[in-house]
Structure 1
Amino acid sequence: MFATLPLLCHTAATLSKGMEHSLPTDGSLMTPSFWLAIPFIALLLMIATGPLFFAGFWHKHYAKVAILLATFVMAYYCIVLENKIKPIEAAAEYIQFMALITALYMATGGISIKVATRATPLANILLLFIGALFANLIGTTGASMLFIRPYLGLNKGRIKVYHIVFFIFIVSNIGGALTPIGDPPLFLGFLKGVPFEWTLIHNSLPWCIALLMLLSIFYFFERNNRPLSTPNQVMLDGRSGIVSIAGSKNLIWLVIVIGGVFLDPTIFPWLPTIDYHGHTISFVRELIMLTVATLSYYSANKAVLLSNGFSFAPLNEVCLIFIGIFGTMIPALELIGKFAASEVGKQLITPTTLYWGTGLFSSVLDNAPTYLNFVAASMAAQGADIEVVANVQAYAAGAIYPDSVTRLSAIALASVFFGAMTYIGNGPNFMVKAIAEQAGIAMPPFGNYIFRFSMPILLPILFVIWFFFFAS
């Protein structure tokens, strides 16, 4: 996160030198000034330091701060730059993001999974591994919401901060790298023309290595945490080792949500859309998801909601914080994209720079547009166009463009894996943190999470993945 400022400075300086005489008079196409990224950087710094240094003010006013900064940036685009397209695109992406998050949160909130077994290292490792597999079937958000409560229940009375951190690492992020359903950037790649099975073929080995290393480290934390003498859950018919599911009818709503993900005009051109200055904005999928969210909540078993400790507080927090992130990240992403497409940027594009560059910005920005920006820049550097499906398919196949498979794999893995570096790197991170805090777990502040867990545990694993797959 703290490397973002100098990188944006370098980006802005390069752009100003190379484009100062080529800026069009049409304000809608102007490159934003560097200072316009300051609200985004300020918001990140406040998220990192607020809960630690001015907790009272932050918890009371964080929503106002996020909305105010987002409003300033979007108003500047609309009024000064006369560019309404970027703010509307950001608003549409935010609605799509929140519609999916809301639908999954509501649908899974009415499902209660209980495991009648002792909280041993093996039981936790198995649950985390199953969660990682499910992340590829119902997305990292769906898997996080479905498994975090049984995970908390299994470890009741012995829960530690590291339990939640490893859950975020494994289930909320790295687990979803094998299919386009797993994480939004991979799904966007699929919509652009990357074959559905591509991620499974090319990401499986790095996925296995990263997961094995994380679970091994988790074991060393867990082996010193004494298991309870009796199972945490009530025995079913006097037997242990039994999994019970209550509220199973909500699984139907969950299936509808996952199916609704594919209702995109890129896949189904007959879907009605809103056309704004050549930009296609979908709304059918979002309406379906918000409808499912409402119906799943009102049709859910109230006893299950109560046993899950269901509350709208985690959803509200994610909703408000990400208003600020989506609103203020517009100039930051635009500066990154312009720099990557410049001559200097093209010369710097290698699998290594794509891996670490995508990873850095996926840690603090929404990883979906970050993925698209870096794929577009990587393809443009080799004369390919991300808007041409045949170009994307050829790029993914590796038959025409040198190193294209390695480059695409570096971007795909980094956009998913690095999302675990911060709380805001991926949507479910903040949600899991909020649910854990609601359960009475004192989660580390933003900076503490990075320096205590992400950097000493996750960063070396990310380095290993780079060294073996992209360094040469």
Structure 2
Amino acid sequence: MSPVNSSKERFTFSLSQQGNRILQLIILIILSLVPFPVLAAGLPANELSLWWCIPFIGTLLTIALCPMLLPKLWHNHNGKIISIWCALFLLPLSWFYGTSEGISITVHALFQEYIPFMLLLLVLYTLSGGIFININGTGNVKLNVLILAAGTVLAGVMGTTGAAMLFIRPLLRANARRRHRTHLVIFFIFLVANIGGGLTPLGDPPLFLGFLKGVGFQWTFSHMLLPVLINTLILLLIFLCIDHYLLKQETSTDNKVKVQKTIFSWSVQGKANLLLLFAVTGVILISGLYKNAPTWYVYGVEISLVAWIRDGLLLIITLCSLKLTPAKIRRQNDFNWTPMAEVGKLFIGIFITIAPVMAMLQLGGTGNFKILINIIEHNGEPVNTLYFWLSGLLSGFLDNAPTYLVFFNLAGGDAVTLMQHLPATLTAISMGSVFMGALSYIGNAPNLMVKSIAEQHQITMPGFFGYMGWSVALLIPVFLLDTLLFF
């Protein structure tokens, strides 16, 4: 058997496996239509102590430390380790508050958060993996800046996940012969996987949730354009200096590194997936605009017909992409399901164990985090600087979408009032939730996906705290400037 045929068979088998996973997901969703009784309405947040946050903290520390301290164990058993933390939360919860509470929390995490979250990632990952961008040029500074800038702009149109998956492979291919490549991926995560998503509600989940709550599309674009532009230009300038310095070192010591200064041409294959990307955008926009839809309850969790139709259409678009894209294009992209599998395992743990943290945060000034919450108000007026930093720092280590909602509600929860009378507060929440997702690998899902793809290309990526060394040194000064300019 030829190597090409063997590779083709392996890829076909991989797609078959993914098809089975998608089928299982469809079955899981269909099962939720069964009219189970309502068992619980939510966590009794008033009764919870800070001890219930331990499984979530343990999950975060495990994600941070295990790849560095126990890499082999983590690589082979990360799903099992995350499952242990979920069990350490759900079993005591079921013991103290009843089995129905544990089931309710799990169902809520799966059907209202995890499955829609993973479906959106799945369709964007699948579509972008079916688009092959061929750039006739090697990794010189101008080309790298151009790729980062293009990815950042498109992140606001097609989402950070879609843009990150579309541009990371061309960037890595163009720089395949470079010796220093880690900084490329770091800045790519900063810009394409995070900051670029602040341009429109389609860019990042927090802003999309704001759109669903009534924040206007035009409002988001007009108020976020300048912050996104300033942050992008500053980081691109810093990147240009670093990349120029490192490339100069490489060319002076390594004759194998030859820099092509001119981009002669570029081409795109898999254009059907570009049309499907527009379809995804349309599905998400329409689902956000249509509000008068039937709803029903599954284990105390509200299920909307619009959400079902949206998720079903996203599944159909995913299957269309798998069917229409030639296997050759995905092989050229080194496409595989490892990043999706890794993100799926990690975020199911985060979505489940984060429940008590979010419940206590939603109590505001009457909960266990009252000291933290009360400082964001002074004499009844919001302290926008603290809204920016607190929503941002929590988004860097919690899920940024529910964090956005918490601070949105703390600021009043009425989109019209916030847009008209407290625009700086809403801008602070939006900027913090989106921009500071770049502070850690778990701040935004594309961060981990980009890291996984880079490691598959034999790029040595820093560990959890090593990455934070980069983000703190480079991003915190930029965010301090944001504070001075906007708040």
Q: Report the CA distance shift for 1:240/1:186 in structure 2 as closer, same or farther (over 3 A).
A: closer
* Structure 1 residue aligned with 2:289: 267
Q: Say which of 33, 58, 61 aligns to 2:77.
A: 61
* Structure 2 residue aligned with 1:103: 123
Q: Say which of 446, 459, 473 aligns to 1:441.
A: 459
Q: Report the CA distance shift for 1:141/1:247 in structure 2 as closer, same or farther (over 3 A).
A: same
Q: Report the CA distance shift for 1:27/1:468 in structure 2 as closer, same or farther (over 3 A).
A: closer
Deviations 1:307-366 (A, max 9, x none): 100111111001101111111111111122223566763453321221111111101111
- TM-score, normalised via structure 2 length: 0.82
Cα distance in 2 for partners of 1:283, 1:79 equals 33
Q: Which amino acid aligns with 1:229?
A: K
1:193-342 matches, within 5 Å, as 193-224=214-245, 225-226=247-248, 228-229=257-258, 231=260, 240-264=263-287, 267-269=289-291, 271=293, 273-276=295-298, 277=300, 279-281=302-304, 282-340=307-365
Cα distance in 2 for partners of 1:340, 1:145 equals 40
Q: Which amino acid aligns with 2:317?
A: V
Q: Report the CA distance shift for 1:167/1:340 in structure 2 as closer, same or farther (over 3 A).
A: farther
Query: What is the deviation of 1:231?
Result: 4.8
Q: Which amino acid aligns with 2:108?
A: E
Cα distance in 2 for partners of 1:105, 1:174 equals 19
Q: Which amino acid aligns with 1:194?
A: V
Q: Say which of 406, 412, 415 aligns to 1:373.
A: 406
Deviations 1:343-402 (A, max 9, x none): 7634533212211111111011110000000110121xxxxxx2xxxx32122122xxxx
Moved more, 420-429 or 121-130: 121-130
Deviations 1:237-288 (A, max 9, x none): xx95211001111212222222222243x52235554434473442221122
* Structure 2 residue aligned with 1:363: 396
Deviations 1:133-188 (A, max 9, x none): 10111011110011111111111211510000000000000011110001010010
- TM-score, normalised via structure 1 length: 0.84
Q: Say which of 45, 56, 64 aligns to 1:40.
A: 56
Deviations 1:450-470 (A, max 9, x none): 02x011111111111112212
Q: Which amino acid aligns with 2:290?
A: F
Where 1:197 maps in the other structure, the secondary structure is helix
Give % identity. Answer: 36
Q: Which amino acid aligns with 1:244?
A: S
Q: Does 1:131 align with 2:155?
A: no
Q: Say which of 104, 110, 127 aligns to 1:91.
A: 110
Q: Report the CA distance shift for 1:36/1:278 in structure 2 as closer, same or farther (over 3 A).
A: closer
Cα distance in 2 for partners of 1:325, 1:257 equals 26
Where 2:450 maps in the other structure, the secondary structure is helix
Cα distance in 2 for partners of 1:38, 1:377 equals 25
Cα distance in 1 for partners of 2:86, 2:129 equals 30
Cα distance in 1 for partners of 2:221, 2:56 equals 34
Cα distance in 2 for partners of 1:346, 1:240 equals 54
Cα distance in 1 for partners of 2:359, 2:44 equals 11
Moved more, 252-261 or 26-35: 26-35
Q: Report the CA distance shift for 1:27/1:128 in structure 2 as closer, same or farther (over 3 A).
A: closer
- Segments of 5+ residues of structure 1 without an aligned counterpart are 1-25, 233-238, 380-385, 399-403
Moved more, 109-118 or 163-172: 109-118
* Structure 1 residue aligned with 2:480: 463
Q: Does 1:426 align with 2:463?
A: no
More helix by share: 2
- Asked whether the equivalents of residues 27 and 81 of structure 1 are also in contact (C-alpha less than 8 Å), the reply is no
Cα distance in 2 for partners of 1:27, 1:100 equals 25
* Structure 2 residue aligned with 1:115: 135
Q: Report the CA distance shift for 1:137/1:33 in structure 2 as closer, same or farther (over 3 A).
A: same
Cα distance in 1 for partners of 2:279, 2:71 equals 40
Q: Report the CA distance shift for 1:460/1:59 in structure 2 as closer, same or farther (over 3 A).
A: same
Cα distance in 1 for partners of 2:483, 2:167 equals 29
Cα distance in 1 for partners of 2:189, 2:351 equals 21
Q: Say which of 44, 54, 74 aligns to 1:29.
A: 44
- Segments of 5+ residues of structure 2 without an aligned counterpart are 1-40, 252-256, 378-382
Cα distance in 1 for partners of 2:114, 2:133 equals 30
- Asked whether the equivalents of residues 346 and 377 of structure 1 are also in contact (C-alpha less than 8 Å), the reply is no
